[in-house]
């Protein structure tokens, strides 16, 4: 795989009505403290050359106006990534499976002290040809 799949995952989560479309991003540039945000970042992985498959680790940080809002949104993101994303075709990539590496947990931002939850999944991808 030669492309960064984060923009594809951002587009996928933005398509879900339960998740505020403007909140999902692959960057924190331009974000203000207190804005509801779902931030996706690639945190590692590996390529299995024999099977031509990629395993990508994705951390999702969810910021909200309150711990309740951030937690609710984090568990909604988790549900869609784990239960709805497998089997989806995203921009020429087929999502074979998604596994949970770390369930969402309370993780307030150390600088701003705003409410935040963080979780991590591994996404198994192959080229959709």
Task: Please tell me the pTM assigned to this model.
Answer: 0.89
What structural domains does the chain harbor? 6-127 (3.30.2000.30)
Separation between Cα atoms, residue 91 and residue 95, nearest integer Å: 11
Per-position pLDDT tens, the chain of length 129: 566 889 999 999 999 999 999 999 988 877 888 889 999 998 866 666 566 788 899 999 999 989 999 999 999 999 999 999 999 999 889 999 999 999 999 988 778 788 899 999 999 998 876
The three-class DSSP label of residue 56 is strand
Q: Between the CA of residue 20 and those of 23, 62, 81, 87, what are the distances in Å?
A: 5, 12, 15, 23
Q: Does an H or E element contain 45, and which?
A: strand 37-48
Report pLDDT for 4: 80
**Residue labelled with tokens 């979780």:** 119
Query: Are 68 and 76 in contact, with CB atoms under 8 Å apart?
Result: no
């Amino acid at each position: 795989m030669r492309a960064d799949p984060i923009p594809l995952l951002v587009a996928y989560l933005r398509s879900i009505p339960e998740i505020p479309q403007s909140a999902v991003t692959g960057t924190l540039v331009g974000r203000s403290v207190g804005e509801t945000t779902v931030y996706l970042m690639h945190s590692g992985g590996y390529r299995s050359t024999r099977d031509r498959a990629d395993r990508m680790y994705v951390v999702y940080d969810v910021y909200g106006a309150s711990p309740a809002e951030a937690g609710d949104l984090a568990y909604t993101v988790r549900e869609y990534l784990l239960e709805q994303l497998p089997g989806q075709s995203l921009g020429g990539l087929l999502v074979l499976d998604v596994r949970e590496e770390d369930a969402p947990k309370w993780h307030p931002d150390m600088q701003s002290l705003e409410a935040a939850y963080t979780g991590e999944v591994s996404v198994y991808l192959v080229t959709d040809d």
